[in-house]
Amino acid sequence: MKKIAVFTSGGDAPGMNACIRSVVRTGIYEGLEVEGIRRGYQGMIDNDFLPLERRSVANIIQLGGTILKTARCLDFMTPEGRQKAADNLRSRNIDGLVCIGGNGSYTGALKLYEEHGIPTIGLPGTIDNDLYGTDYTIGFDTAINTAVQAIDKIRDTADSHDRVFLVEVMGRDAGFIGISVGISGGAEGILIPEDTHDMEKIHRYFDRSDRRSKSFSIIVVAEGDQEGGVLVLSQKLSEKYPDLDIRATILGHIQRGGSPTANDRILASRLGYSAVHALIQGHKSQTLGIVNDKVKMTPFDEAIHKHKPINSSLIRMAEILSS
């Protein structure tokens, strides 16, 4: 192995830059040449590569987003697109790839390996924490901290005006962000896709006479929850409880940006470092994650198809703590 390339793909996540830095500096330390690919698979097809040196990744560990940019690339979903990408990689003598992204990016990397034999190590870069094979994904910790800071601020207004705030957080069809933000934000209710009884709990909460006398509440709602989002939900709850002053807030993309937390920087650094060593050791089609504080390797196929469950004891605990 003489030359590797690193790219970011799918949605951006805080900590991707720390991960790029780690791949570049570990690669160079191990005597490899390292290139970056701009805009993920799109750049691979467009031959948009750049050489990376130690200094190229100076002063980026604290930056959100990704210096390599990211993109969603439809061409790569076709065999012709992947052929072009493979031709470009071969013409540049790239022996291995580090792909920082989510499930879709993993799927692309698996196909590139199966069709063209190009080894790739996938690293979990998404705020949603919904990837199998790792306890945490790069960007999750930053995202939940951003959301909790927002909730602390909303709580001031909720308290001052005696209002109920429904706060929608990201997470797609998974409730990792929702449950974590709900617990750490001290929410009175948490609605996540994995909990099919969560709406009953909300009604129980509002129906209890002692709770109705409490002046304000924060309800965290995961975007993938079955209730259809905070706007629909606030309408329904307002009709059922006309005496409550209910407001809806969608936190949206502020959760995706910002300087990564120390935890995300450490996670990204560990995974980037291990990815380079995995390529050097000859691993070809694997993802890396951290499980019980140890780096764990999972084949792409398994990481793509296995479901990562939410810790159900957290759901029970959250209910008890909020009552």
- Tokens 């957290």 sit on residue: 314
C-beta of 78 vs 323, nearer to ligand ATP: 78
Site residues for ligand ATP, window 171-230 (CB under 6 A)? none
Q: Which of residues 5-34 bind ligand ATP (CB under 6 A)?
A: 9-11
Candidate ranges 102-110, 225-233, 284-292, 295-303; the one touching ligand ATP (CB under 6 A): 102-110
Window of 96-104, 160-168, 253-261, 274-282 that interacts with ligand ATP by CB under 6 A? 96-104
* Span from 4-12, 85-93, 190-198, 205-213 in contact with ligand ATP (CB under 6 A): 4-12
* Cα dihedral: 179, 185, 186, 187 (round 10): -60
**Binding span for ligand ATP by CB under 6 A among 52-60, 101-109, 189-197, 223-231:** 101-109
128 catalytic residue (yes or no): yes
Residue 50 · residue 94 · CB < 8 Å: no
Structure tokens at 197: 């009884």
H helices of 173-307, in order, are 176-184, 198-207, 209-212, 230-240, 262-280, 300-305
Question: Of the listed pieces 71-79, 263-271, 289-297, 315-323, which binds ligand ATP according to CB under 6 A?
Answer: 71-79
Residue 280, token pair as written in the block: 């050097």
Least Cβ distance, residue 130 to ligand ATP (angstroms): 8
Q: Is 48 in the site for ligand ATP (CB under 6 A)?
A: no
Let me know: does 40 contact 10? Beta carbons within 8 Å.
Answer: yes
Q: Closer to ligand ATP by CB, 103 or 120: give it.
A: 103
Which residue, 80 or 156, has its beta carbon nearer to ligand ATP?
Answer: 80
Contacts of 254 (CB under 8 A, 6+ apart): 146, 150
- Buried (b) or exposed (e) across 187-226, using 16+ Cβ within 10 A? bbbbbbbbbeebbebbeebbeeeeeeeeebbbbbbbbbbe
How many residues bind ligand ATP (CB under 6 A)? The answer is 17
Mask for 104-133, x = binds ligand ATP (CB under 6 A): xx-xx--x--------------x-------
Nearer to ligand ATP, 72 or 92 (CB): 72
Name the catalytic one among 12, 128, 141, 225: 128
Q: What is the distance between the alpha carbons of residues 133 and 305, in angstroms, rounded to a whole number?
A: 11
Residues of span 285-314 touching ligand ATP by CB under 6 A:
none
Out of 5, 15, 18, 76, which residue is the one contacting ligand ATP (CB under 6 A)? 76
Tokens of 289: 């994650």
- CA dist 163 to 94, 219, 251, Å? 58, 11, 17
Q: How far is CA 323 from CA 110, 147, 204, 206, 295, in A?
A: 46, 22, 10, 11, 38
CA distance 281 to 240: 61
Residue 101 lies near ligand ATP (rule: CB under 6 A): yes
Which residue in the set 64, 96, 102, 178 belongs to the binding site for ligand ATP (CB under 6 A)? Answer: 102
Distance of closest approach, residue 275 Cβ to ligand ATP, in angstroms? 16
Compute the least distance from the CB of residue 101 to ligand ATP, in Å: 4
Pairing of strands 217-222, 294-299: unpaired
- Judged by beta carbon, residue 37 or residue 166, the one nearer ligand ATP is 37
- Which residues are designated catalytic? 128
- Residues in contact with ligand ATP by CB under 6 A are 9-11, 41, 72-73, 76-77, 101-105, 107-108, 111, 126
